Structure 1
Amino acid sequence: MGWICRQELLRPSVGLVTVEHHLCERTPITSLLIGMTIFVTLSMLYYLSQWKFDPLLIESKEVATVVLMLDSPEEEILAKACDAIYKYASKAFERHPKKRLNRLMVPDNVMMKSQHISFPTTWHGGDENKVTLLGLGAVQRLYKLISHENPVVRRNAIMIFGIMASNQDVKKLLRELNVTSSLLSRLVPEEDVVIHEFATLCLAHMAVEYTTKAQIFEQGGLEPLISLLGSPDPDVTKNSVECIYLLVQDFQSRAAVCELNVIPPLLDLLKSEYPVIQLLALKTLEVISKDRETRIILGENQGLDHLLTILETEEFSDLHVEALAVLGNCLEDADTMQLIQQTGGLKKLLSFVGVSTVPDIQKNAAKAIARAACDSENRKILNEENVESCLINLLEIDDDGVKVAASQAISAMCENVASKRAFGLQGIPQLVQLLSSDDEEVKEAAVMALANLTTASQSNASAVAEAEGIKPLVETLNAERHGAIANAATVLTNMAMQEPLRLSIQSHGVMSVLTEPLRSTSSQVQSRAALTVAAFGCDADARSELRNAGGLEPLVELLHSKDREVRRNACWAVMVCASDELTAVELCRLGAIDILEEINQSTARRNNFSEAALERLLDNNLSQKYSQMGYLSSSNVITDGFYDYGKIKPGVKLPSLEELSMQELTDRRAIIFVSTKTQEDVLAIEEKPRRVSYELATLSPLTSRRSSREISSVRKWKGKKEEEKLKEVAEILSEVQDEINLEDAQWQPPPDYMLMNYINDASKTILPLTTTREQVVALAQFVADKMGGAIERDELHNFSWELHISEIEFELKSNVVPIGKVKKGTFCHRALLFKVIADRLGIGCSLVRGEYNRAWNEVKLVDDSPQGVTGLLLPPQEYIVDLMFVPGFLMKQGSAEADQYKYI
């Protein structure tokens, strides 16, 4: 029965009702036993409920176990778990002797009675541990704890974030959790200084990313961070100023910190006993002092005095570079520059740079001068302090960075005329030497300085040549950096303004070297190279060199450029290079005329040089010009090979005379061509090189069989006259070869013997006449007589010149007709013949095409002085020459008879 009672009592379903039921059914003894059993059982249950475990020491070898403890509701467990995680993440940094850089998570007076947690000593620290914690979900759990009500738990969680935020993946997750707002809310004076330290440390780690910078700014984080610059704890100060330094990289924060009066606390930090804080303060000042408003506030707070004090203190030598950077920003303002000059600070600064042997200091000083020299007033002040000598001395420092900075400062100071003159007298030889540097950046900076020095300064351009700078400049056109190539081209262009220098540069093969810069992908290089071609293209030898080197093709390609400056300079270069027929023909072959016509039809792309270039090309292709523009000026001399194709529209390609001669006979208008060269002339040209070669061989019979060394030896004992003759013969041979090349390149039309007779007869009868007026009248009558004589105006429609031309075409089985064969010609034929003969006789006249086969010649003649007036020089008058109705009659331009002659 006792067993039954014990079982009943131990069953969960046993209640008071069941016990009372058993008591009623049993005897008094049984009831007593049951009662005693119940009493003992209840007593045991009571004592069991009051029993507590003694402190239990747990050693966990798994970090995952400790991470799970972060979910515990017990504050002591949370604090101790955070302590272990902090050590695991940070590898238990040692305490700094002067600063509490890293603290233990749990203070000494906190006793953890319930449990003790420890990790094994074989840890793998660094980012690996942080990544492990991240994978176990520690960051999400800790994020809940940074706002915990218990200050110890809250502090410990923030400390872990301060350590773990150095990991990129952790930072990414913290951004997603928007932890910045929680951290910023803890930067209040009421919070513990440890929270301030690690919260600012976490923010400093995260502020490297632009997204976090924006979050901190938008959440008002600048103000609490600035307030913490005055914290008594150096760690808090260091982290806060570092965070501010990262934030002010963004222009919004840079403007906001000025309004929050950040300058005074930053200047106070320059007095800190910790170099890292001073350095971060200077770096922050360097960034924010790029804004003029900040520089004004800095001056008002005696910031310049602080900076000069640092530069004068040898103990702060490790801060001199950053102090110079801040001072360099301040020197950009003319008011600040004047203030520093008046107080003697500028002289001290230049003296400091002169005696310093630290390259970084010298480099930053040169950069400061370069920035200051952007203002004209500053340049004047710097010149008064003889800054040129300081910069020239820096060019000789054996450090490439210093040389670059000094060259850039010289470039900036060149805007001052006095400085440019001073550098020209002393600095150009040093800059020329830097062109041979192996460092491309040094070479680029040096040639940029030379470009500014030689601009609008012939004396400096001559100084570059005297310093033997031509060869390295030409070699720099093959440099790696686009800036070096562009500026080298500029220097050569500046030097080319003087003919002796231009010829000297040309002797170094500059036009051949320019071929590659013309093909550059840099618009700056393309523009400068084209401008250099324009500068040297005025010389026939230079044009020949460019043509032979294949430089015309990339030059024509630049006409397609979308860059306005490149297009303009390319047009300029084409205009200059089209001065000779050989180059003009090649440019036309490459399609320059079509491109220029397209440019000139666009109001947006057209420029002054595009129109001039097209006209210059057409001046060397008169057939194209007359067909397209319908006008040849008195300076457009018609030569052999000219042909009148008729009027064509712009953009339509004119077929060559060779192509037209190969076409079958059609019913279109005849193509009238001009040719006065006989077969004997062609044979004579072919014979000339043989004669010249014979002369050369006669002059030096052993030359053809001797080596170059033997030739050189022979020339040493030959007389000066013989040397000059050799040179002259070689030049003649070169010219003849060019003529032969042209003859071979172009198809030659058959000779027009009748036209040759016309020219000979006209020369005999017209040239003896004393006045131009008489010559014009006589030539008009001569032309009319050769082309059918005078025609009555009313009988013009009966003048069957079309049938006559058709008969000639049928006879020649070609649409191409020599003008000498035309015996019955109308306006267009007579005007062309008049122009051809007048050009041979030296009579200036123009040829103008009208509508419906009308054409006429315009001449300028000076009228006789009025009677009784001697010595009066009247301006020339323009006349239209009548070749049809009253041959030789001169009609004033604009008169009724002139208009009647020109139009139907």
Structure 2
Amino acid sequence: MGKKVKKDEKAAPDDVFDALQVESRQAATAVLMLDSPEEDVLSKACESIYKFAEKCDDNKKNLLDLGAVDSLLKLIQHEDRIVRRNACSAFSVLTAHPEVRKVLRKEESAIPSIINLLAPEEETLVHEFAALALSSLATEFSTTVSIWECGGVEPLVRCLGSPDPDVQKNAIEALAKLLLDFQTRSALREYDGLRPILELLKSEFAVIQQLALLALDRAAQDAENRSLIRELEGVSRLIDFVAHPEWNDLHVQAVMVLSSLLEDTESLEVLKETGGLKKLVNLITDKAAMDEEAKAKGGGAEKKGGSRAAKRSAKGDGKKKDEESHDNPFGESIVPTLPDVKMCTAKAIARSAKNAENRKILHEQETEKMLIHLLSHENADVIAAAAQALAIMCENLLSRDAIREWEGFPPLIKLLHHDQCCVKEAVTLTLANLTTGNNINASEVVSLNGLEPLISLLGDGHDSTVANVACVLTNLAQDETNRAEAQAKGVVTALIPPLKTSSTTVQAKAALGLAAYVCDTDSRTALREAGGLEPLVALLTSCDDEVRRNSAWAVSVCAVDEPTAAEICRLGGMATLQEIQLSTTRQNAFAAVALEKLLDNNLSAKYALTGRLSAANGISNGFYDAGQLRPGSKFLPLEEYGKQELNEKLAVLLVNALPNPSTLQQQSDLELKTDASKTSISGKSSRTGRESKTKTKAQREREEKQKEEELQAQLQKEMESEDKPYSPPPDPSLLKYIEEVVAKIQPIPSLRQQVQVLAQYVSEKLGGAIERGQVSNFSWELPMSQVKFELKSNVVPIGKIKAGIHVHRALLFKVLADKIALPCTLVRGEYYRAWNEVLLPTEPETPSDPVFPPKWYVVDLVHNPGGLLLADSIEATNYQKL
């Protein structure tokens, strides 16, 4: 038996707690452990909370309710490196929940504590999770401002240079969100953050490249940042990025950044000088890819390089590096540019072309060729973007000619038949800009049979397309040949439906188009018969200034002939124009012109409203003087005055020198019936034999006269029947006056003598001269009433009046003067006053006397018929006033 050896066992100190192995299955326990004084316990508790919170959002909310956020916020400032790292990872994961962020916004120490973790002495993993926390917190704009105020931009910029891709990813994501605030944009420039962001475009990880492009896009909204990006050769780098076919899934974002940069003329100059613009154009038209493919086939060189897809699938730990050779900038295979990239490039060009200097540079680089090439693309969005860019380029006059020379019109005309509304809208806008002020381009559209599709598009339901088409058609109307061809294809009636739309833009463009095409009688007749005047007149009451102006202009063009002017007046156009001119906010020069044109073709209304007819306003048959209208009174047509019952109001003076056709027909019928009656009487006399001889000649004439009167009364009764339309009474006396004046006064060689003789003639026909002060005693009311009673009407032909004063004589003088081309005015005064003014040359007494300019004279028709009173003289004033 061996010797026993005594074991040397040392008892544990009494004041030391024995190690305790604890297994917990509750998150609450782990949260409680966060208050432990032991670093090892804290570290393990933070690690378990990180794993638990990473599983789902419900776990994050549960940990928040358990108070884990406050404890972790304290632990991220712990002295122990491992505790601080694990607490930071758990805390950053929790910040992904909105409720956690809401709580942290109230903690003033939260953001500074996180920013402190980005210090250079901290380890990489702490940087990664601290940047992640700031990225999550930057989701709310209010927190973004707090991060900037606490100096968080500088450490984030420093993290962009980290060798760890996860740190780069979280830092650039946080910066991209912070760059939504303009203050961060200037801070980024101050801390030289644009340089490392541009370097991140070379990253092996797509997510980092994407976030870098997003940050660049937002930073480029600042003009000074754009300038710095140019200095850092950012434009060229972006072009090279787009030229890399492996990165085609990010080309759209790269082009968006270029779009912001190309707003500056300096960037476009850089692009031009470095050849980048040509390179971009070639890329978008797939020319570069095709050239490279041809080169590869010719050289037979073996391309090396890994798969980009493998890189895209790499996890965010950033440890896997893909060894790829970039000897070929176009990658392993040639890939045509994606449609979205082409669309964004066209939009970028359109955005840049809004600047006049940029348009000039783009034109010098023949950018229009690329855009015309894109019009043949199969993608509708690409076509629409290219057409919109062309439309903006057309603001440069040289581009309009260049597009025509480079055969840009055929594809544009062809696209008018496209199914997509966006394409038709963009194409019609381009055509509108191309044809503005360019008759050659307008003729090109017509020669390529573009009229029919354009007119058919007026019925398109898209307002913008219809408005653009109306602009194109208006431009085409500037050439007489194009206008005639469009009119033959029914453009006038096709422009009527757009007038009835609810879009004010369409209404304004359609009204302007109508004004361009209704410049001849046939077009105005077609518009009137198609019912186009009613919606046009209705637009005069529009609340939109442009619609009112354009519709007033169209009305002024339509109102140059009497039938159309009469129809416009019937539809209330004259009253509406008067209201517009009385308004202080709606009146405009177009409405004034329209009203004047309307009145020039409705002299009865003009005289009633303005009280003056110029020498150019020749009175014709159908003119009537109903007296001066009061403001707000409605001008009535002659038919309404003629159908009114006989009253004591002033007579409506009518000019109607033509015999009434219905009266002529009635007289013819009367003659036929009279002849038949005479024949019947003669036959009866022959049958009775000797009995008829017993009647005297006077008795036979009396019987025949009685029968004629009966027939006349019957015809008069039929004429006055309500079923027949109103027919103004004829004025054979006026017709006789005109014949006499033309025969006797018109041959007089002297204009002054013509005026004097005509004045004496008018005075003689209306009662002769009246002594001064005796006008009130001159009896003219009773004869006028007798004429009204005789005609059973308030409408009195001027020739029926045998006694008249100023108002009657001035009207008759104007009517007769117009018939012999004697220019004179007709002016209405107050208290039955009216007068005529004539412009007469001065006649020197001797041939050696100087000849003075002609002067205006008032013609005396009442007191000294034939006397000429110098206008504005005391004698003329006394003649014009009571």
Q: Which residue matches 1:898?
A: 876
Residue 145 of structure 1, aligned match among 55, 58, 72: 72
Say whether 1:620 aligns with 2:601: yes
Say whether 1:401 aligns with 2:367: no
Give per-residue Cα distances to partners, 1:585-638, cap 9 Å, x unaligned. 332233322332232234443322121111112223322221221111233233
- The worse-fitting range, judged by mean Cα deviation, of 334-343 and 412-421 is 334-343
Secondary structure at the aligned position of 2:442 is classed as helix
Q: Distance in 2 between matches of 1:139 and 1:54?
A: 24
Residue 446 of structure 1, aligned match among 408, 427, 431: 427
- 1:391-540 to structure 2, matched below 5 A, reads 391-425=371-405, 426-540=407-521
* Contact 2:272 2:278 survives alignment (8 Å): yes
- 1:2-13 to structure 2, matched below 5 A, reads none
Q: Distance in 1 between matches of 2:194 and 2:13?
A: 70
* Contact 1:410 1:449 survives alignment (8 Å): yes
Residue 299 of structure 1, aligned match among 220, 230, 243: 230
- Aligned partner letter, 1:400: A
- 1:64-75 to structure 2, matched below 5 A, reads 65=28, 69=32
- The worse-fitting range, judged by mean Cα deviation, of 453-462 and 347-356 is 347-356
* Contact 2:363 2:399 survives alignment (8 Å): yes
Check 1:175–1:504 CA distance in 2 against 1; reply closer, same or farther (3 A cut): farther
Q: Which residue matches 1:375?
A: 355
Say whether 1:388 aligns with 2:352: no
Number of paired residues? 761
Secondary structure at the aligned position of 1:435 is classed as helix
- Deviation of 1:400 after TM superposition, in Å, equals 1.9
Say whether 1:334 aligns with 2:265: yes
- Aligned partner letter, 1:57: E
- Deviation of 1:454 after TM superposition, in Å, equals 0.6
Q: Distance in 2 between matches of 1:193 and 1:642?
A: 99
- Deviation of 1:164 after TM superposition, in Å, equals 5.3
Residue 845 of structure 1, aligned match among 824, 846, 849: 824
* Contact 2:467 2:505 survives alignment (8 Å): yes
Say whether 1:90 aligns with 2:59: no
Secondary structure at the aligned position of 1:648 is classed as coil
- Deviation of 1:241 after TM superposition, in Å, equals 1.6
Residue 637 of structure 1, aligned match among 615, 618, 621: 618
Residue 651 of structure 1, aligned match among 599, 616, 632: 632
Residue 55 of structure 1, aligned match among 5, 10, 21: 21
* Contact 1:661 1:815 survives alignment (8 Å): yes
Residue 669 of structure 1, aligned match among 646, 650, 653: 650
Q: Which residue matches 2:57?
A: 130
Check 1:527–1:680 CA distance in 2 against 1; reply closer, same or farther (3 A cut): closer
- Deviation of 1:315 after TM superposition, in Å, equals 4.9
Check 1:644–1:168 CA distance in 2 against 1; reply closer, same or farther (3 A cut): farther
Q: Which residue matches 1:790?
A: 769
- Deviation of 1:570 after TM superposition, in Å, equals 2.1
Q: Distance in 1 between matches of 2:879 and 2:654?
A: 25
- Deviation of 1:428 after TM superposition, in Å, equals 1.3
Check 1:765–1:365 CA distance in 2 against 1; reply closer, same or farther (3 A cut): same
- Aligned partner letter, 1:299: R
Give per-residue Cα distances to partners, 1:19-78, cap 9 Å, x unaligned. xxxxxxxxxxxxxxxxxxxxxxxxxxx999998685243445xx6x56875786577666
- The worse-fitting range, judged by mean Cα deviation, of 440-449 and 130-139 is 130-139
Check 1:88–1:683 CA distance in 2 against 1; reply closer, same or farther (3 A cut): farther
Check 1:259–1:68 CA distance in 2 against 1; reply closer, same or farther (3 A cut): closer
- TM-score normalised by L of structure 1: 0.76
Check 1:73–1:502 CA distance in 2 against 1; reply closer, same or farther (3 A cut): same
- Deviation of 1:175 after TM superposition, in Å, equals 5.4
Q: Distance in 2 between matches of 1:271 and 1:199?
A: 24
* Contact 2:642 2:795 survives alignment (8 Å): yes
Q: Distance in 1 between matches of 2:91 and 2:658?
A: 96
Secondary structure at the aligned position of 1:793 is classed as coil
- Deviation of 1:421 after TM superposition, in Å, equals 0.7
- Deviation of 1:667 after TM superposition, in Å, equals 4.4
* Contact 2:24 2:30 survives alignment (8 Å): no
Q: Distance in 2 between matches of 1:839 and 1:201?
A: 94
Check 1:183–1:503 CA distance in 2 against 1; reply closer, same or farther (3 A cut): farther
Give per-residue Cα distances to partners, 1:172-228, cap 9 Å, x unaligned. 666577865664454444555434333433443454454444454455443333333
* Contact 1:142 1:157 survives alignment (8 Å): no
Say whether 1:750 aligns with 2:716: no
* Contact 1:631 1:846 survives alignment (8 Å): yes
Secondary structure at the aligned position of 2:199 is classed as helix
Q: Distance in 1 between matches of 2:362 and 2:514?
A: 37
- Deviation of 1:307 after TM superposition, in Å, equals 2.8
Q: Distance in 2 between matches of 1:203 and 1:865?
A: 101
Check 1:144–1:447 CA distance in 2 against 1; reply closer, same or farther (3 A cut): farther
Residue 819 of structure 1, aligned match among 794, 798, 804: 798
Q: Distance in 1 between matches of 2:529 and 2:123?
A: 82
Give per-residue Cα distances to partners, 1:755-797, cap 9 Å, x unaligned. 3343344344334444544443333222211211111224323
Give per-residue Cα distances to partners, 1:136-190, cap 9 Å, x unaligned. 7448642452233546666555545544555666666665778656644544445
- The worse-fitting range, judged by mean Cα deviation, of 412-421 and 639-648 is 639-648
* Contact 1:440 1:480 survives alignment (8 Å): no
Q: Distance in 2 between matches of 1:349 and 1:274?
A: 24
* Contact 1:518 1:525 survives alignment (8 Å): yes
Give per-residue Cα distances to partners, 1:664-698, cap 9 Å, x unaligned. 5554433323334544258889x9xxxxxxxxxxx
- Deviation of 1:853 after TM superposition, in Å, equals 1.8
- TM-score normalised by L of structure 2: 0.78
- Deviation of 1:501 after TM superposition, in Å, equals 0.9
- Aligned partner letter, 2:435: T
Secondary structure at the aligned position of 1:57 is classed as coil
Specify every segment of 5 or more residues in structure 1 that has no aligned partner in the other structure, as ranges: 1-45, 92-128, 688-743
Specify every segment of 5 or more residues in structure 2 that has no aligned partner in the other structure, as ranges: 1-11, 290-335, 669-722
Check 1:663–1:257 CA distance in 2 against 1; reply closer, same or farther (3 A cut): farther
* Contact 1:597 1:651 survives alignment (8 Å): no
- Deviation of 1:406 after TM superposition, in Å, equals 1.8
Q: Which residue matches 2:859?
A: 881
Q: Which residue matches 1:542?
A: 523
* Contact 2:61 2:97 survives alignment (8 Å): no
- The worse-fitting range, judged by mean Cα deviation, of 199-208 and 164-173 is 164-173
* Contact 1:203 1:243 survives alignment (8 Å): yes
* Contact 1:633 1:847 survives alignment (8 Å): yes
Check 1:210–1:799 CA distance in 2 against 1; reply closer, same or farther (3 A cut): farther
Q: Distance in 2 between matches of 1:569 and 1:241?
A: 54
- Aligned partner letter, 1:55: Q
- Aligned partner letter, 2:386: A
Q: Distance in 2 between matches of 1:157 and 1:375?
A: 53
